[in-house]
A and B are shown apart, each in its own frame.
Chain A
Amino acid sequence: MAETTYIDAIRDALLEEMERLPTMVVLGEDIQEGGVFRVTDGMLDRFGPGRVLDTPLAESSIVGVAIGMATNGCVPVAEMQFADFAFPAFNQIISEAAKWRYRSNNGWGCPIVVRAPSGGGIRGALYHSQSIEAMLAHVPGLKVVAPATPYDAKGLLKAAIRDPDPVIYLEQKRAYRLLKGEVPAEDFTVPIGEAALRREGDDLTVISYGMMAHECLAAADELAADGIRATVLDLRTLAPLDREAILDAAKRTGKVLIVHEDNLTGGIGGEVAAIIAEHAFDSLDAPIRRLAGLDVPSMPYSAVMEAYFMPSREKIAVAMRELAAY
């Protein structure tokens, strides 16, 4: 199987779905030129300006247009240049797209995909580092995915495009050219709503997603050298959460650490912790712990401060050791 970068896996998924689905279009800022991250590089030449649409710098309009196209039989994939820029589109996403099926009494879906490069650790500072998943996962009617690997990036994007309802696809921008992995050439999807067990161990459970899943795995490797064996669960889909996988992983060890880069308060970790507390209380052997980005207004620009903000392999390892020793 070929080794593919995370960004190539996303582009491959777009190209293959464009070939397969004549009704699919992509739209966003500068995407005819390939977009700032070059995800849509070469698509204009291949599919023409009728299916690869440049838009004004107006995210509300990008998603609004996508919703309109979807209701007229298209399958639009809208690109937010950065997840940070999605906020002007929130009204369209939350009040329109998410409610389309409900509002039409199950008459129509709104099969759009909103791609948004998410997360920091790239010295992107205030406007290029934000995590928006918790705000969107809170909204009924939306599906939110955050693939951690090239394989999942391709499989989840294809699943998102084929989903009859709106899916927020949070690309891990730090992963674009950092991560390589095996991705099959043949057509496949990764089902939305299924977590992936990345590592198994009986001493404690770490639940994470996106880039942080890799930091957790690295920390787990480090601890394994000292005989502390961790189960690591990669959520992959943040809405709807894979409750069964979460509960299985929690029950296995009774000690759970939840890690995400998004800031702590109101984050995905709180929801995961609540699910475990409600449905696996009798299996708990320690208080559920969360390790997350700091509750400060923004990811700082200074490299030192950025490292201070981010959960890292080292911080995760410390938290894991404390939990294992509890």
Chain B
Amino acid sequence: MPTLNMPDVGESVTEGTITRWLKGEGDAVQLDEPIVEIETEKVSVEVPSPFEGRLTRILVQEGEVAPVGAPLAEFDAEQKTESREQSDRPARPVVAAAAPLTAAAPIATNGASPVPATPEQPHRTRRYSPVVLQLASEHDIDLALVRGTGIEGRVTRQDVMRYIENPVAYTVPPSREAGVVGVSAPPASPPAPSAHAAAASTPAPDGDEVQPLSATRRTIAARMLDAHLTIPPAWMVVEADVSNLVRLREATKEGFQRTEGVPLTYLPFFVQAVVAALKQHPALNATYTDEGVRVHHACHIGVAVAVESGLIVPVVRDADRKSIAGLAHEIVDLGAKARDRKLSLDEVRGATFTLDNTGAFGSVISQPLIPPGQVAIMTTEAIRRELRVAEDGSFAARSVMNLCISFDHRALDGAQAGMFMRSVKEHLEAIRADQQVY
């Protein structure tokens, strides 16, 4: 009996949630007629029917999560259609020898046809070489969990070696692909192709409640553990006097809102100060690899956004070429897209430095984890009114804030980070209360 399987909508997506069945058991379906709505961590798709016939049994209910390739429903189909025939072939192309394994698959957007369902994994993913079997037995590894980078997704000796060293990082595609925290790459896929419930909480015997992990939450968990396990962080705080910035914003925000249609927040100023400091200290705008530190020419600033399901870090590309107004618009725009889950892959990857405005919650000090693929992340803390003593001995109420940085101590030392932070501070303190925003 033919089945409709969870489609593969992109290389880094491994599972999806059934949001709505558009057809019920017993319904007749036409070829290419939308049958079910599926939500993944990146996109929502309507899956068209690969058959002409009758839906006989729904295997995965609304609200449940199923891995890519898992059967979702059974059909009484008259005939296999062309698209079904195609789906019997391995979905992944054979990797050309010289091709880097980083290219992301195209992502289906709302309404677009997903890649046909893959009924079976290519045979190579289930055939293992002698050395892989040997290593798996020595280290008691379930090979179904290991991310394969060989031909047709084959698990290679090196994949197993990397998995032994860091199981979390190598059950999922490399975080460098996304370059941001908590987005776009999937969590470890469960080995069994059976659907498992995700929507409902499960009561535990002691009366506690186990809340299942959402796809986003699991991605964040894997990313954060990767960051925590693989990057030796060092940390530092400086205080900046932003009294003039506060006055400037107070004086201009109403006019800005009127003319631009978006609020004037502090964030664009912080981004500009960070970008200016990165230009002076490019070592902070870099990627650490064992072969060498890759210093980026472009300044793509990840701006952390809290959304209902967790944390997403959209990227302001070429932030060094944008005005305060341009940044304000873009940040508002990206934030809205993040909340609506409308961000494209390009809008969440490729950050070279990340900025997190933890001060929005009133935090005065925080210690962020460094996104893999970057060498530092900076937080901007709450602006407070404090008494400060000036050089001449007078004291006054000033608006001050803390700037915190976590940096990868493999790539950078305290001196470099310190000079960068001093530069950010100087740029913020150099703002005059009477200057133009434009």
Contacts and interface: CB of A to CB of B under 8 A. Distances in A.
Interface of A: 202-203, 226-227, 253-255, 281-286, 318, 321-322, 324-326
B129 A254 contact: yes
A286 B99 CA distance: 19
Contacts of B150: 325-326
Contacts of A284: 129-131
A83 to B, nearest CB: 34
Nearest to B132: A285
Interface residues of B, number: 17
Contact of A326 (B96, B98, B134, B154): B154
A89 B157 CA distance: 48
Interface in B154-195: 154, 156-158
Interface of B: 95-99, 129-132, 134, 150-151, 154, 156-158, 291
Nearest to A318: B97
29 contacts: A226-B98, A227-B291, A253-B157, A254-B129, A254-B131, A254-B157, A255-B157, A281-B130, A282-B131, A283-B130, A283-B134, A284-B129, A284-B131, A285-B129, A285-B130, A285-B131, A285-B132, A285-B156, A285-B158, A286-B129, A286-B156, A322-B97, A325-B95, A325-B96, A325-B97, A325-B99, A325-B151, A326-B150, A326-B151
A314 to B, nearest CB: 12
A281 B131 CA distance: 8
A62 B154 CA distance: 56
A326 B130 contact: no
Nearest to B151: A326
A196 B118 CA distance: 48
Given A284-B129, A321-B97, 6 more contacts: A226-B98, A253-B157, A284-B131, A285-B156, A321-B98, A324-B97
A247 B357 CA distance: 56
A202 B363 CA distance: 47
A204 to B, nearest CB: 10
A326 B131 contact: no
A285 B98 contact: no
A322 B150 CA distance: 10
Contacts of B158: 202-203, 285
A285 B134 CA distance: 10
B147 to A, nearest CB: 15
Nearest to B129: A285
Given A284-B131, A321-B98, A326 B156 contact: yes
A253 B157 CA distance: 8
B135 to A, nearest CB: 9
Contacts of B129: 254, 284-286
A255 B156 CA distance: 10
Contacts of A253: 157
B139 to A, nearest CB: 14
A325 B93 CA distance: 13
A50 to B, nearest CB: 59
A254 B158 CA distance: 9
A279 to B, nearest CB: 12
A255 B97 CA distance: 14
Contacts of A286: 129, 156
A103 B151 CA distance: 53
Contacts of A202: 158
A132 B154 CA distance: 39
A323 to B, nearest CB: 8
A64 B98 CA distance: 53
Nearest to A320: B97
Contacts of A326: 150-151, 154, 156
A326 B98 CA distance: 11
A322 B154 CA distance: 13
Contacts of B99: 325
Contacts of A226: 98
B332 to A, nearest CB: 40
Among B132, B154, B157, chain A packs the most CB atoms within 10 A around the CB of B157
Contacts of A285: 129-132, 156-158
Contacts of B95: 325
A322 B98 CA distance: 7
Nearest to B124: A326
Contacts of B97: 318, 321-322, 324-325
A201 to B, nearest CB: 11
Nearest to B96: A325
Nearest to B133: A282
Nearest to B159: A285
Nearest to B101: A325
Contacts of A203: 158
Contacts of B131: 254, 282-285
